[in-house]
């Protein structure tokens, strides 16, 4: 299966989850590494744009396509998530929920509904998984951000 991440070209080949480790995210606390990806390029763009200020969009963006296994994905339905999972900004409950799962080296990928479109999914890759070689970069493509999406 192919999943997508949009981000600064400088970090397009990162498979360590260092950015998420340094800054945290909806599903991880600071110091817990992970790689946020989406099921489509369009969802990756939406997720990126809602989480970045237009003044902070880097000059060079890329879409990284990751190939991940179809097996071992831990899927969560909305009723399995913390009750306030869609709260903005991200509540501590979602950060703790994801962090606990990401500390399990037997769980390679979390499949979680998107807040933006709950019928679509984000895939959170776990760099602590015992066999990180299962996350292969399929391609990296330059992406020109149409700033009208943030205008």
pLDDT digit string, tens, across residues 94-136 = 999 999 999 998 999 999 999 999 999 999 999 999 887 888 9
Of the candidates 6, 94, 109, 21, the one whose C-alpha atom is nearest the C-alpha of residue 52 is 6
Q: What is the mean pLDDT of the segment spanning 72-86?
A: 96
pLDDT digits 0-9 by tens, 47-73: 998 888 767 776 789 999 999 998 889
Measured CA distances, 135 to 13, 23, 51, 87, 91 (Å): 11, 22, 24, 30, 28
* Number of folded domains that form the chain: 1
Give pTM, 2 decimals.
0.94
Pair 71, 108: CB distance under 8 Å: no
Domain encompassing residue 86: 2-149
């Amino acid at each position: 299966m192919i999943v997508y991440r949009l981000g600064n070209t400088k970090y397009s080949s990162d498979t360590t989850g260092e950015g998420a480790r340094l800054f945290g995210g909806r599903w991880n606390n600071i110091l817990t590494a992970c790689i946020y990806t989406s099921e489509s390029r369009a969802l990756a763009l939406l997720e990126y744009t809602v989480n970045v200020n237009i003044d902070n969009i880097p000059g060079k963006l890329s879409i990284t396509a990751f190939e991940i296994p179809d097996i071992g994905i831990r899927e969560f339905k909305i009723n399995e998530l913390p009750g306030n999972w869609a709260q903005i900004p991200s509540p501590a409950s979602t950060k703790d929920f994801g962090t606990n799962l990401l500390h399990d080296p037997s769980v390679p990928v979390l499949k979680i509904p998107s807040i933006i479109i709950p019928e679509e999914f984000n895939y959170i890759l776990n760099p602590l998984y015992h066999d990180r070689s299962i996350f292969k970069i399929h391609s990296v493509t330059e992406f020109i951000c149409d700033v009208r999406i943030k205008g």
